Structure 1
């Protein structure tokens, strides 16, 4: 696999938008999706009357669409992002099973281990809508999974995991991943580890209850808020307070799941990463208005698995996965995020640095909704983990994070000839692509004080070994009653050190 992004001179790349999606597709990691495959139906029509038998609307169906759902949707997302995908699961010999198999094959997905059985009912979820509003969902699934089908799937798992870079478990609780299959996966991974010591595939578990999968010691588990609450046997608070509550129980979640890391998905509030070393990382969603959208969680875990399989650091993988999920929530139905769509989405952040006057108008709209503005500034020339950790901390001080970039001329005045490495358009594109950043602007003055006086952020954040008294911007903040926040200093993380290592050919910079 290729080196991680921090080992690459970003001056050789146009921007994150041009680079990451193409690289992921070029790697083409082999990924097995094992789990509950489904067929999603989206039926829509018009409503002009109520039925005579009951006060229920009559939907005259005009459009019918069926698409892979559940684990099959995860597989479709992986294929659309450039992975070599295999699917293992159980379907019926019914029309829904045939439709599902054909769609997977058409997407280039290997269905060798997608077994069918005459006594199995292919799980379907049909949503009936009118005028953009879902009126009803009809679920159809097997009351039980035939024992011989479970035995056959369990026996096939060992050959299915061979030569895979990653294995994804997508457990929706339909019974397909019962004990025989789970034991088969344990044996298969142990067998592969004996055959190829030290090269166990990445194991990601996306399960309605990750605890039964703990003996496999997965690398990542991705419970949502409800699943997390059940594991902790508590009720999570609403909104952003959920993040703090989940983080307080990091040790319990890691122990319960046996995972190397837990990523809790919080729908409109993004995600939070929990690790044994205490390092956390947030992503922030960019939610759309309410639409008929489904499967953003499948897209997120697919992109996360693909990015990790291709060697990207975990925090970078999370930001990329969040961007992919943001793409699909703006699309109707059960949809996928392709490499091209992800690239276009990330490119939309290029050249998006707002002029101060326009930014001021945007921030007033946020204040009208009682949202707190946080502003920070810097060169952000060659982005590294110290930057991303610091920006995530800054985001948590309020609701809207504004990053003010020093202009190219300003950077030259501060850093000397040869800097910046990346022009301001590229720096803006990379910073804006981070899910924690809401707005980027550029300033050319010796300090950010004039911009602060214009925008009047509630919080001015600065990272490093400063005190408020050392900052030239502090008087400007205090003039209108704002607050200066000094964030954690991240030792051994320096843009200058990164640039020197690249120029001296000293190899990769070790980052989280």
Structure 2
């Protein structure tokens, strides 16, 4: 449930400029590739990207950052309009612009220009932080966090504060709930030979003690995230749910934003990290910060629906030639059979979308007394699984109407019947999709679990009487 208090993001905004294309030849005057441009995209980066990602769930997000009067600053304002609420600090100079030239999805060169001096914090900044439910500091070492530092130190004693550090920036304020350096940043801040999990664990624990932070999450790319605490010798490793093939630019901002959002909703750091790891993997798989759907989707404050993100994800995966896999069911009591099916389904393609019967749809299908678990809880549990990229509900007796809009490449069901017997098979054929059946763990079913629980309750009641 979205908190009525906003999530406040404090940090340095950049303008990200991505020029992407195909390089199939070299220039005649030197061994340099010629890039035939296919896309040219500008969008807010740094703290601006983190704020947009935090706002995608529909929560109110306030972004405290420094902007000037230059063209890049105005471009950022335009990109953030309707998505987050801006509280500006003055910027004497120009906003940093980071330009990447990519060929075949791989960066060839990066060009950085611009920069300026951040002015003093205003009363509007203090007011925004005073009303925050949680705070995320996206520190790129360009002055915003330092300008607001005394206010951030006070906020850390009241609400969860996540600090995404940078070697060029200052140390996190004491009392941060979670600090999120990547492996290279942690190594620069706390030198320790080697790239082993043990070395990362020692760095994380040492940094947590140095910064007086409740926990430090060292992000390790495809290996996942190592969550460490001061003087702890047993860190928690949260592996990535799958190897996401996509542009990793912005993955750290996504991880920090999702962790802060989870803490704002009352999650423990361990829960927040698990949710953020799964969300960051889906972000990379969908194309990362360069995914056009991220900037074309519904803006904050425009009554966005979770469904919109589902369709945007499917479209983004299709746009880059990936395979969209979908499955459906009631999932009234999630059990080992469901988990095995979902794990297998995710390995078929590049994203897995789960279509769930609404409470009324499930009741019509299963009869009185159902559902045992309300729709909101069923969707939340499914979304927490590492194999699941998105969850969407449907009100009809079958998902046929939803599938016509979603248009997955593969529809998966578990059971002992043939794919041609599935009612969805004819629906999928309309756009060249394929229905498949995967093996199901024998003896696992929601109905059987419910009967067993009811029998146990009856026996227990008889014995106690």
Please report how far the alpha carbon of residue 271 of structure 1 lies from its aligned counterpart in structure 2 after TM superposition: 0.7
Q: So what's the TM-score if we normalise by structure 1?
A: 0.57
Q: Residue 105 of structure 2 aligns with which residue? A: 132
1:42 counterpart residue number? 18
| Counterpart in the other structure of 1:160 | 128
Name which of 60, 76, 90 aligns with 1:100: 76
Aligned partners of 1:34 and 1:168 also within 8 Å:
yes
Match of 1:315?
Answer: 270
Q: Select 2:142's aligned residue among 174, 184, 188.
A: 174
Alignment partner for residue 88 of structure 1, among 49, 61, 64?
A: 64
Q: Is the 8 A contact 2:139 2:164 kept in 1?
A: yes
Number of the residue aligned with 1:112: 87
Which position in structure 1 is the counterpart of 2:287?
332
Which position in structure 2 is the counterpart of 1:253? 207
- 1:306-385 aligned at under 5 Å gives the runs 306-334=261-289, 335=291, 336=294, 339-340=306-307, 353=338
Query: Partner residue of 1:442?
Result: 441
How does 1:221-240 map onto structure 2 within 5 Å? Answer: 221-237=179-195
Q: Tell me, what secondary structure is at the counterpart of 1:302?
A: helix
Alpha-carbon offset, residue 224 of structure 1:
0.9
Q: Deviations over 1:145-202 (max 9, x none)?
A: 33xx43x237654233121111211112234434xx1xx4324653x79xxxx7x122
1:216 paired with 2:216, answer no
Superposed CA deviations along residues 283-303 of structure 1, whole A, max 9, x for unmatched, are 221344543342111111111
CA distance in 1, matches of 2:439, 2:44: 38
Match 1:74 to one of 36, 50, 64: 50
Is the 1:354–1:442 Cα contact (8 Å) retained in structure 2? no
* Distance in 2, Cα, partners of 1:440 & 1:113: 56
1:231 positional shift: 2.7
Q: Distance in 2 between the 1:78 and 1:176 partners?
A: 19
RMSD: 4.2
Give the Å deviation of 1:46: 4.0
Matched, 1:30 2:30: no
Kept in 1: contact 2:9–2:136 (CA 8 A):
yes
Deviations 1:418-456 (A, max 9, x none): 9xx779xx999948944499x9963439xxxxxxxxxxx
Alpha-carbon separation, structure 1, partners of 2:382 and 2:307? 20
* Secondary structure of 1:164 counterpart: coil
Deviations 1:246-297 (A, max 9, x none): 2345542221121011111111111121235846433221344543342111
How far, CA to CA, are the matches of 1:28 and 1:163 in structure 2?
10
- Could you tell me which residue of structure 2 aligns to residue 186 of structure 1? 150
Contact 1:432 1:440 (C-alpha < 8 Å) held by counterparts: no
Deviation at 1:48, TM superposition (A): 5.3
Pair 328,105 (structure 1): closer, same or farther in 2 beyond 3 Å? same
- Taking the aligned partners of 1:125 and 1:263, their CA distance within structure 2 comes to 26
TM-superposition CA deviations, 1:50-98 (whole Å, max 9, x none) = 3344221222434211111111100000111222111112233222111
The residue correspondences of 1:491-506 to structure 2 (distance < 5 A) are none
SS in structure 2 at match of 1:329 = helix
Separation in 2, partners of 1:275, 1:311: 19
Q: Distance in 2 between matches of 1:104 and 1:164?
A: 19
1:270-281 equivalences under 5 Å are 270-276=224-230, 278=232, 280-281=235-236
Q: Could you say which residue in structure 2 is the equivalent of 1:481?
A: none
CA distance in 1, matches of 2:152, 2:203: 32
Aligned residue for 2:399? none
Query: Structure 1 residues 267, 260: CA separation in 2 closer, same or farther (over 3 Å shift)?
Result: same
Q: How do residues 388-427 of structure 1 correspond to structure 2 at under 5 angstroms?
A: none
Quote the Cα distance in structure 2 between the aligned partners of 1:268 and 1:52: 39
Give ranges in structure 2 of 5+ residues lacking alignment.
298-305, 314-324, 330-336, 348-368, 389-437, 445-452
